[in-house]
Amino acid sequence: MKVKRYRVFILLVALNIAIFLFSPTVGAKSLQLTWKNLLEMASILPPVFILLGLLDVWVKRETMVKYMGDGSGITGVLLAFFLGSAAAGPLYAAFPVAGVLLKKGSKLSNVFIMLGAWSTTKIPLILFEASSLGLKFMLVRLAMDLIGIVVIAYLTQRMLSKEEIESIYQNASGR
């Protein structure tokens, strides 16, 4: 069971070793990049998990359902955009957040919106674009992102069957 769970990790370790044996120069660079990425993840994930633990304990399921659940309407959408845009860290840190939101009863499309916002509408990125590429570019890109994220989130939720949606919620809750 453990081997199956870690098969991708084991495959990547074996691939790194094979690259190192085949081409020591490329292999050394590959191992160096792998180590750098592991250290980066080790510095980012613990604070994320601490915050998720606090979110899990402090925010009641009823509150999450009220503000981001099925009946949340525009409030849930705006909150999802805010959570994603204000979040710090790389996209892989967003997936544990998405899991907790699902576990707490957030609407699936709101979780998709949060993930989309996390990946494309970060506040520092928007400020950088406005200063580097101009306000007009930033506003056009932001408007397209906002529309695109909402459309993709709702289309994705509608394309999933009830069984697939239930499976997503079950996986998030650990059942």
Give residue limits of the domains in the chain.
Answer: 1-45, 59-173
Q: Give the other-Cβ count within 10 Å of 97's Cβ.
A: 21
Q: 146-169 burial, b for 16+ CB within 10 Å, e for fewer?
A: beebbeebeeebeeeeeeeeeebe
The distance between the two most distant Cα atoms of the chain, rounded to a whole number of Å, is 57
Residue by residue, DSSP assigns 131-161 as HHT-HHHHHHHHHHHHHHHHHHHHHHHHHS-
pLDDT per residue as tens digits for the range 95-153 = 999 999 999 999 999 999 999 999 999 988 899 999 999 999 999 999 999 999 999 99
Is residue 24 within a helix (H) or strand (E), and if so which, with residue range? Answer: helix 24-58
The CA distance from 66 to 77, in Å, is 12
Q: Which amino acid is at 28?
A: A
CB 121 within 8 Å of CB 114: no
pLDDT per residue as tens digits for the range 25-40 = 998 998 899 889 888 8
Block residue for tokens 């099925």? 70
Kindly report the average pLDDT of the chain as a whole number. 90
pLDDT per residue as tens digits for the range 93-102 = 899 999 999 9
